Amino acid sequence: MFEEKISPMEPQSRANLKEGDEDYSFQVKWDGIRILAFVDGEKLRLQGRSLINKTSNYPELAVLPELVKGKRIILDGEIIALQENRPSFYAVMQRERTGSAGISRIRSLIPVFYMVFDLLFFDDSWVMNKQWSARQEMLEKYLKENDHVRLTPSFEDGEILLDTVRKKKMEGIVAKKKNSPYVQGPRKSSYWYKTKIEQTIEAYVGGISLKNTNPASLLLGMKEEGSEGEIGKIRYIGSVSSGLKTKELGAWYNWALENSLSASPFANAPLHPGRKLLYVKPVRKVEVTFNEWTPDIKLRAPRLTSRSEQLIHL
């Protein structure tokens, strides 16, 4: 049981909530790193989607065996990090990438939380065949919570939850069929479905890409927590042109010419084959909406919001 490699259950995607949702309960979708936790007595093993052992990345969870009172248990949940009071994928990715060498430093800068939402094994038996609602009851009964380990709450009204999550600028919600077993991934199961909300972030403009001599897109970057690198370096996360009117792009270009940098302010190199890049001091921010983060920490389908015009110099 302890060494078993399990693929976590994956929800299908839906743009909107289903009709007849009495069959479902709704939970917040946590924007973080999916982790299964295996506890056997004092032993703990954390496994990610890639089935790789991630135990040393998250020392905050070392206390899990105590929280389950030494029972043999497999938990399913999401590890998140908070920024501005909501889960930030960007922040938790920095934890995910930090190995045992840097962990003691970064864990005080970016603490993580384990949001538990399912149970696969308990005591001496697999409980994957039990109904979701029964598994939730077992979790409530046997998992003790602490500052870093919490049970994900479930709600009956999906519309209200979705609305609340939208207002709080969180990732989305997941609907879970009350009478359903736990089905391993990676194939998406119809028993769970996720409804995502468009996400919004603020990012620094670190440069402009040029097509021939015309400005084409803004190069975006974000600061890295506790980075050892040179002061002022930001991490490149993508470029945006959608939502920019030609006139605005021109205004950015003129400003960039006056505030240009000879050296790139980005810690990693923007990939724009065939384009010339004009770098600027990362002092101005824009607000962008996007669908999700790519596996290599770039924005997927970013668009500038109208609020960008109002963002001022820092």
Partner 1 sequence: MRAMWKGSLSFGLVNIPVRLFSATESRTLKFRHLHAPCHTPLEYQKVCSTCKKEVPWEEIARGYEYEKDHFVVLSEEEIKSAAGEKERLIEITDFVNIEEIDPIFFQNSYYLAPDGPGSRPYALLREAMLESGKIAVATITLRTKESMATVRTFGDALALSTMFFPDEVRSVQELPDIPHGVEIREKELTMAKQLIENLAAPFQPEKYHDNYRAKVIELIQARVEGKEVAVAPSPQKEKVIDLLEALQASVEKAQGKGKGRGKDKTAKTSPRKEKVSAKK
- Interface segment toward partner 1; rule CB under 8 A; list 55-63, 156-164, 209-217, 222-230: 156-164
- In degrees, to the nearest 5, what angle opens at C-alpha 226 toward C-alphas 220 and 229? 70
Select 57 or 217, whichever has its Cβ closest to partner 1: 57
- Which is nearest to 206 in space by CA: 158, 248, 268? 268
In this structure, the dihedral spanned by the alpha carbons of residues 286, 292, 297 and 298, taken in order and rounded to 10 degrees, is: -50
**What DSSP string describes 134-160?**
HHHHHHHHHPPP-SSEEEPPEES-HHH
Select 81 or 218, whichever has its Cβ closest to partner 1: 81
Which class for 37: exposed (0-12), middle (13-18), buried (19 or more C-beta within 10 A)? Answer: buried
Select 109 or 216, whichever has its Cβ closest to partner 1: 109
Contact between 156 and partner 1 by CB under 8 A: the answer reads yes
Determine the residue type at 109. Answer: L
Beta bridge partners of 203: 286
Print the binding letters for residues 15-54 with partner 1: x by CB under 8 A, - otherwise.
-------------x--------------------------
Q: Coil, helix or strand for 132?
A: helix
Select 133 or 184, whichever has its Cβ closest to partner 1: 133
CB of 148 to partner 1, least distance (A): 8
Contact between 136 and partner 1 by CB under 8 A: the answer reads yes
Select 167 or 245, whichever has its Cβ closest to partner 1: 167
Q: Which of 4, 23, 140, 309 binds partner 1 (CB under 8 A)?
A: 140
CB of 276 to partner 1, least distance (A): 23
Q: Coil, helix or strand for 21?
A: helix
Q: Which of 160, 257, 271, 283 binds partner 1 (CB under 8 A)?
A: 160
Which class for 3: exposed (0-12), middle (13-18), buried (19 or more C-beta within 10 A)? Answer: exposed
Binders of partner 1: how many residues, by CB under 8 A? Answer: 30
Contact between 161 and partner 1 by CB under 8 A: the answer reads yes
Distance CA 74, CA 122 (A): 7
Q: Which of 4, 66, 123, 145 binds partner 1 (CB under 8 A)?
A: 145
Print the binding letters for residues 54-93 with partner 1: x by CB under 8 A, - otherwise.
--------------------------x-xx-xxx------
Distance CA 249, CA 208 (A): 9
- Interface segment toward partner 1; rule CB under 8 A; list 146-154, 238-246, 290-298, 304-312: 146-154
| Structural tokens at position 101 | 């060498």
Distance CA 48, CA 125 (A): 22
Q: Which residue ranges make up the site for partner 1 (CB under 8 A)? A: 28, 80, 82-83, 85-87, 111, 113, 115, 136, 140, 145, 147-148, 150-151, 153-157, 159-161, 163-165, 167-168
